[in-house]
Structure 1
Amino acid sequence: MIDRTSADDVVSLASGMQVGAVVVVERDPGDVESLLAERIRTVPRLRRRLMPTPFGCGRPIWVDDPGFDLTNHVGRVVCPAPGDEAALLDIASSLVIRPLPRSAPLWSATLVTGLTENRAAVILVFHHVLSDGIGGLAVLANLVDGAPHTETTPFPAPAPSRRELLKDAWTARLKFRGRVSFPGLRWPSRGARCSLNQPTGPRRRQTMARAGVSRLHAAAHRCGGTVNDALLTAVMGALGTVLTKRGDHVDELVVSIPVSTRRSTTAAHLGNSTGVMPVALPTGGDPWSRLTRIAAITRAHKKSVTSATPIFRALNVLGIANWFMNHQRMVHTVVTNVHGPDHPLRFGDAPVVDLIPLSATTGNVTVAFAALSYADAFTITVVADPDHVPDLLVLTEALQAELEFVEGHEEATAPRQGPRS
């Protein structure tokens, strides 16, 4: 079977975005190379590279890399003192923005030792073309302990011939002929000008805020919303606080919310399958009234989720995709939320004590948010261009305060910890 990229994959490839996760374990898991050597065999794309096809033969395909060498994908680093979360995230930030070579499978794993409390971490990074967040969870499920045994095919399989590629491409074209549509994106009105939209530079910095899934769910339910609505409420409140301090007075911000078009997938069926829901959300008011308003807004927009692929493919054809992303004023920020594992995981027989999402900003969006749940823990990573967001710690502190308020009055009035960076 030919493993061909989808139209959504091609857009992700053009964006150059890399994502991942930090898997924090209770102790050093030992020989990571040996652990991964067997487990990656159940995830075909971890031993495949992207290959362009001849003219007329369709989109690029994934083919087995006959020269695959695991040591080229696995690294080790000792975290510098004091070995805390800030130091760990500094390492993760540098890895997620370091371009993966296109001539090899598009992923890396780095073992970080020297953390406080004798902990260690594995930083997984992959190009977004490999998969979206739902697929990323499928990859993780095959890399941790207890993954189900999956029959693997002989490796490396030969690449398909030009005749096979041509036949496959035309079969797909005829299959979808007459069913392909190009829906228009239902964007809100042009976003208000503010300091959130500036062309980003090469550096990134990441900080964290935390909450409890069950408490956020209970609070959101009382206002007719979801955990994602509670997340959006906290993000909007925090951004409103920071923008006011900057002298920007913006009553609402346009948020791009990626929405998966599938609930689950397997490690053999990765790729990207997402839509986008752009919505204008309020930044003011008390958190409870803001949560009620945001819940109503997102409910009204859920049927308007659509694909951004057609418009970006057109921009690519015109050669102005990068220019557009660096100058657009339609979106102020991006908020991603992925429902992670509900049960505790182990890696190398070491308990996984934390899962931290890794993301990046693109174009002129200077700050974005990525959330990932693990058991009852809800971790939100704030990723920003530090040259345009010098007040990142202030933003993170405001986000933590908003989350605590939403979680409940008792938590909101308790002494707050400083921002996790």
Structure 2
Amino acid sequence: MSRIQVDRASPTDRAFLAMGTGDGPVQFGVLLLLGPARGLDLARVRQLIGERLPAVPRLRRRLVPAPWGGGGPIWVDDPGFDVRRHVRPAVCAPPGDRQAVFDTALSLVSARLPREAPPWSATFLTGLTGGEAALVVVLDHVLADGVGGLAVLARLVDGAPAVAAPFPRPSPDAPALRREALAGRLRSVCRIGPAVRALFASTGAAGGLHPPRATACSLLGPAGPRRRLAVVRAELAPLRAAAHRHGASVNDAVLVAVAGALHRLLLTRHEDVRAFAVAVPVSGRAAADASHLGNAVSPLLLTVPATGDVAGRLALVAARVRASKAAATGPPPIAVVGALFRLSATLGLYRWYLDHQHRMHTLVSHVRGPAGPVTFGGVPVVEAVPLSVGASGNLSVVFEVLSYAGSLVVSVLADAARCPDLDALADGLAAQLALVCRESR
């Protein structure tokens, strides 16, 4: 008899699980804007996704507690899985234009996914102008990080190889889980030294225990329940070329543009902030396998200048990223301290900290999507827009960045009450991205 493999939630997964037990969910997703979708209906969407699910085992698994002595939660096949429960229809809010699609998608990613079932959804959105349609895929962060989410997406669009897998598979029994958990505890004891060093390194990359206080400004303050979304686009090739001329990456260029846009926004509010503390999630892996998902991200805290010569700012940010990024690719502090963090999150202490922190002004998350265009059900994916909600604390605006098929899309997610000038910020970011391309030549 073959040994049943244990799919156990990692310490980072469990940290995100604890974060999502508060007032709001911690979820992310992507809005796939499709071309005219003649012949593509809900039944066909369910059929396509259902046929492709075996390639992503966790999409048919739910997270359950292990028996006493059996360690942390495990992912087990859901014998009652029904694709119809996860792939649903929705009609875009009127008038069905781009902003209405964005607002509808944001409401979908903000709706808490049930934890008693595999925590994901895919909504087939109709009612768009021009006969177009959209697919909004949402994942609970406990299931995967951004890199893992892209691995899921790659298996759901057309062209992915078919995979056959028995389902449902039997769950590991209690004795097997206890043996596996004991072995894990013994390995942890042997790794105490490296774990302590990793904690110091990752804490340092995240700004240390006592980082410089982020300059006080209107970007920080009590957040309300409503979020708004604005989308900024840029061509990827000229931005990449501009960054590479100064030894920088596309992400470095985006950071420079974001800081410049925030500086100009605050000037209109009669505030003068010339450098911003920006948190950047760093993945501990270059790519993810859809059959082995989970979270492997650590925070990197950077001071990004907002004024001065663009070329000089690019070079400075690139140097700061190179100096600190290696330390941020290990396990994040929330995973290393494990049970202590989960307790603080469950008690609401972590959310209290986020609501009162002065470590950062904003967060910029960037993942690379497919380099070329993809299709779903034979319909071209015209644009891919990243989405996320949760754990933003007192940050009034955050940025989600996704590159796809030669384009860079920046989702600017803002508190509706604290950032009424979101459109001005989006226009300013578009101008700053163009400025980076133009003035760094």
TM above 0.5, yes or no, is: yes
Decide whether the 8 Å contact of 1:371 with 1:378 is kept in 2.
Answer: yes
**1:46 equivalent among 59, 82, 93:** 59
Shift of 1:294: 1.8
Alignment partner, residue 417 of structure 1 = none
Decide whether the 8 Å contact of 2:276 with 2:306 is kept in 1.
Answer: yes
Decide whether the 8 Å contact of 1:22 with 1:355 is kept in 2.
Answer: yes
1:163 paired with 2:175, answer yes
**2:47 equivalent among 34, 47, 53:** 34
**2:350 equivalent among 311, 316, 321:** 321
TM-score (norm 1): 0.93
Decide whether the 8 Å contact of 2:54 with 2:164 is kept in 1.
Answer: no
Identity of aligned residues (%): 44
Taking the TM superposition and a 5 Å limit, the aligned residue runs for 1:356-371 are 356-361=385-390, 362-371=392-401
Shift of 1:98: 0.7
Shift of 1:248: 2.6
Secondary structure at the residue paired with 1:26? Answer: strand
Shift of 1:410: 12
Alignment partner, residue 419 of structure 1 = none
1:395 paired with 2:408, answer no
1:138 paired with 2:143, answer no
Alignment partner, residue 220 of structure 2 = 197
Decide whether the 8 Å contact of 1:234 with 1:287 is kept in 2.
Answer: no
Shift of 1:121: 0.6
Alignment partner, residue 23 of structure 2 = none
Paired with 1:410 and 1:279, the residues of 2 have a C-alpha distance of 21
Secondary structure at the residue paired with 1:342? Answer: coil
Decide whether the 8 Å contact of 1:287 with 1:402 is kept in 2.
Answer: no
Taking the TM superposition and a 5 Å limit, the aligned residue runs for 1:320-339 are 320-339=349-368
Secondary structure at the residue paired with 1:359? Answer: strand
Decide whether the 8 Å contact of 2:93 with 2:104 is kept in 1.
Answer: no
Deviations 1:255-281 (A, max 9, x none): 111111111121110001112211111
Decide whether the 8 Å contact of 2:398 with 2:413 is kept in 1.
Answer: yes
Matched AA of 2:395: V
Paired with 2:400 and 2:29, the residues of 1 have a C-alpha distance of 11
Secondary structure at the residue paired with 2:31? Answer: strand
Paired with 2:105 and 2:115, the residues of 1 have a C-alpha distance of 20
Deviations 1:311-362 (A, max 9, x none): 5753433442222122211121110110111121110011111111111252
Secondary structure at the residue paired with 2:212? Answer: coil
Shift of 1:4: 0.5
Alignment partner, residue 378 of structure 2 = 349
Q: RMSD of the alignment, in Å?
A: 1.9
In structure 2, the CA distance between the partners of 1:200 and 1:55, relative to structure 1 (3 Å rule), is farther
TM-score (norm 2): 0.89
Structure 1 range deviating more: 344-353 or 248-257: 248-257
Structure 1 range deviating more: 160-169 or 332-341: 160-169
Long gaps (5+) in structure 1: 412-421
In structure 2, the CA distance between the partners of 1:338 and 1:410, relative to structure 1 (3 Å rule), is closer
Structure 1 range deviating more: 299-308 or 58-67: 299-308
In structure 2, the CA distance between the partners of 1:315 and 1:6, relative to structure 1 (3 Å rule), is closer
Taking the TM superposition and a 5 Å limit, the aligned residue runs for 1:162-311 are 162-180=174-192, 181-182=195-196, 183-184=199-200, 185-186=203-204, 187=207, 188-305=211-328, 306=330, 307-309=332-334, 310-311=336-337
Shift of 1:212: 1.2
Taking the TM superposition and a 5 Å limit, the aligned residue runs for 1:13-32 are 13-16=17-20, 17-28=26-37, 29-30=40-41, 31-32=44-45
Matched AA of 1:193: A
Paired with 2:394 and 2:177, the residues of 1 have a C-alpha distance of 38
Shift of 1:298: 1.7
Decide whether the 8 Å contact of 1:360 with 1:368 is kept in 2.
Answer: no
Structure 1 range deviating more: 388-397 or 294-303: 294-303
Between Structure 1 and Structure 2, how many residues are aligned?
410
